[in-house]
Amino acid sequence: MQGLFVTFEGGEGAGKSTQIGRLADHLRADGDDVLVTREPGGSPGAEAVRHVILSGAAEPFGPAMEALLFAAARNDHVEQVIRQALKVGQMVLCDRYIDSSRVYQGVTGNLDPDLMRAIERAAIHGLMPDMTIILDLPAEVGLQRAHARRGAATADRFEKETIDLHRKRRDAYLAIATAEPERCKVIAANRPADEIAADIAALVDGLKTSRGLKTKQGIEVAK
């Protein structure tokens, strides 16, 4: 019994949490056992590191320090939570994963690609997502949404940065999707939530079918 590992990526305000919730509802209605989790965090060890990173306490020590902390948190999350969940057949939906590190630390943190690849290998030991949904939005729209949600004054360490950085991140996500089209699916996020949710549900249902995991639709067709 092996579950599916689906990760969600995108800039701030792209609607990841809403869409993860919608997909979780869709899968549960289909009878799936769903685990919703997030990074940085998702396990007690990783949540402890999350606080250190997002408070900005590690920022003065540079992007390499931050990349290693994200990787430490990721490794704990993978080994303590995700692998076990997949083994018992759960559908694991994760808010951010390796592509966030590739984009935020690797590209906009200007870290050496060899270092980033080595850190990634050590963090995940081969646990690649079965599918990565990239919620794509113009940087301006994402920033406006994030500010409206939290208020600029309470923005975290990564939300305080400039529009230029947000544009670079968007381009970096799109470059990953071009390089890994099998795994990464780009979804235009500047649309009504219902439309986006329907597109994502169709993609994940397709993935389930291709892996021999039944969907309700599949059962009906078989009747």
- 42 lines the binding site for ligand TYD (CB under 6 A): no
Q: Which stretch binds ligand TYD (CB under 6 A): 95-103, 125-133, 136-144, 214-222?
A: 95-103
Phi, then psi, of 137 in degrees rounded to 5 = -145, 145
Of the candidates 58, 78, 104, 196, which one interacts with ligand TYD according to CB under 6 A? 104
Min dist. Cβ of residue 162 to ligand TYD (A): 14
Of the candidates 12, 32, 76, 120, which one interacts with ligand TYD according to CB under 6 A? 12
Contact 91, 2 (CB under 8 A): no
d(CA 50, CA 70): 8
Q: Which of residues 136-175 bind ligand TYD (CB under 6 A)?
A: 156, 158
The answer, yes or no, to whether the previous bond of 181 is cis (omega within 30 of 0) is no
- 40 lines the binding site for ligand TYD (CB under 6 A): yes
Give Cβ neighbours of residue 134 (< 8 Å, ≥ 6 apart).
Answer: 9, 10, 99, 173, 174, 176, 177, 184, 185, 186, 187
d(CA 19, CA 134): 11
Q: Which stretch binds ligand TYD (CB under 6 A): 26-34, 96-104, 114-122, 198-206?
A: 96-104
Q: Which stretch binds ligand TYD (CB under 6 A): 23-31, 76-84, 101-109, 133-141?
A: 101-109
Of the candidates 19, 101, 132, 215, which one interacts with ligand TYD according to CB under 6 A? 101
Contact 130, 184 (CB under 8 A): no
| Residue (8 or 131) nearer to ligand TYD, CB | 8
What's the angle, vertex CA 80, arms to CA 76 and CA 83, rounded to 5? 110
Phi, then psi, of 193 in degrees rounded to 5 = -55, -35
| Residue (77 or 208) nearer to ligand TYD, CB | 77
Which residues here bind ligand TYD, judged by CB under 6 A?
12, 39-40, 54, 70, 95-96, 100-101, 104-105, 156, 158
